[in-house]
């Protein structure tokens, strides 16, 4: 039976991507999404129907049974969080979870490589169709994407010039995704980024994705380009 790949990513992520054909495919899709270009949200939870409504069949007398019935997918773990299946409140771009300490909402604008002004927070206007604010879903909010572009070279006058471009992809309380301007201090230690101590020709471009499963075990992948 066909299934939305984002449902597979959600469940496999929770379980630490156990060995299976489905989870191997889910992980491959997740990594393909962060491989430039474009760099997409690795988990698009809004494409996983966690609350499904469908029309029920006619009964033997030719009358329709109650029109809609609600079906909820099971949680990755055994407990059911409070508010499961409750209509969602108004969307918020507030970020919470494992990486929240370094992603306070910012104001103002940054400038991209073309010189155009960009907002510090660039939200993707989608999220889960049920309430996932419960800590059972912290593994969703643990996902962190870091896009790194760095170059260093000495100019004709002998001066050392370097440029660093970092942006962070983060998930909010309800699975909403944002891009946020970052700094060199946000480059994760697991990255292969290794600028030289002396000024020389060096360039580095990559996307790092980090996550934790529902048991708190961390993992990562890095794609260089």
pLDDT tens across 47-82, in order?
998 765 434 444 555 544 333 333 333 434 333 333
Percent residues over pLDDT 90 in the chain: 52
**Tokens in use for 1?**
């039976």
Helix axis angle, 5-14 to 21-33, nearest 10°:
100
pLDDT tens profile 113-172: 444 444 444 555 577 878 889 999 999 999 999 999 999 998 888 889 999 999 999 999
Closest CA to 224 of 83, 34, 26: 34
Q: Cα-Cα-Cα-Cα dihedral of 71, 72, 73, 77, to 10°?
A: -150
User: Cα(31)–Cα(35) distance, rounded to whole angstroms?
Assistant: 6
Integer angstrom CA distances of residue 90 from 87, 107, 109, 156: 10, 21, 25, 55
How many beta carbons lie within 10 A of that of residue 170, not counting itself? 26
* pLDDT (0 to 100) of residue 156: 84
* Lowest-pLDDT choice from 18-32, 98-112, 146-160: 98-112
Residue 4's pLDDT band (cuts 50, 70, 90): confident
Domain range summary for the chain, segments of one domain joined by +: 5-224
User: Cα(156)–Cα(153) distance, rounded to whole angstroms?
Assistant: 10
Locate the DSSP E strands across 90-143.
109-111, 117-119, 121-124
Closest CA to 13 of 211, 188, 220: 211
Beta bridge partners of 171: 177
Q: Which one is predicted more confidently, 80 or 29?
A: 29
């Amino acid at each position: 039976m066909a299934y939305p790949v984002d449902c597979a990513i959600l469940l496999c992520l929770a379980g630490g991507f156990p060995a299976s054909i489905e989870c191997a495919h889910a992980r491959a899709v997740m990594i393909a999404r962060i491989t430039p270009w474009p760099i997409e949200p690795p988990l698009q939870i809004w494409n996983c129907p966690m609350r499904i409504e469908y029309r029920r069949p006619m009964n033997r007398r030719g009358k329709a049974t109650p029109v809609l019935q609600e079906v909820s997918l099971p949680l990755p773990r055994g407990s059911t969080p409070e508010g499961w299946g409750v209509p969602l409140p108004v969307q918020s771009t507030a970020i919470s979870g494992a990486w929240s300490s370094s992603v306070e909402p910012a104001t103002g604008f940054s400038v991209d490589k073309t010189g155009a002004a960009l907002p510090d927070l660039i939200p993707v206007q989608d999220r889960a169709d049920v309430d996932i604010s419960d800590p059972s879903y912290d593994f969703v909010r643990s996902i962190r994407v870091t896009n790194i572009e760095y170059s260093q070279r000495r100019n004709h006058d002998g001066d050392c010039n370097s440029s660093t471009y970092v942006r962070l992809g983060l998930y909010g309380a309800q699975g909403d995704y944002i891009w946020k301007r970052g700094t060199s201090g946000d480059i994760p230690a697991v990255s292969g980024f290794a600028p030289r101590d002396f000024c020389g020709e060096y360039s580095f471009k990559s996307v790092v994705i980090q996550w934790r499963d529902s048991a708190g075990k961390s993992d990562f992948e890095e794609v260089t380009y």
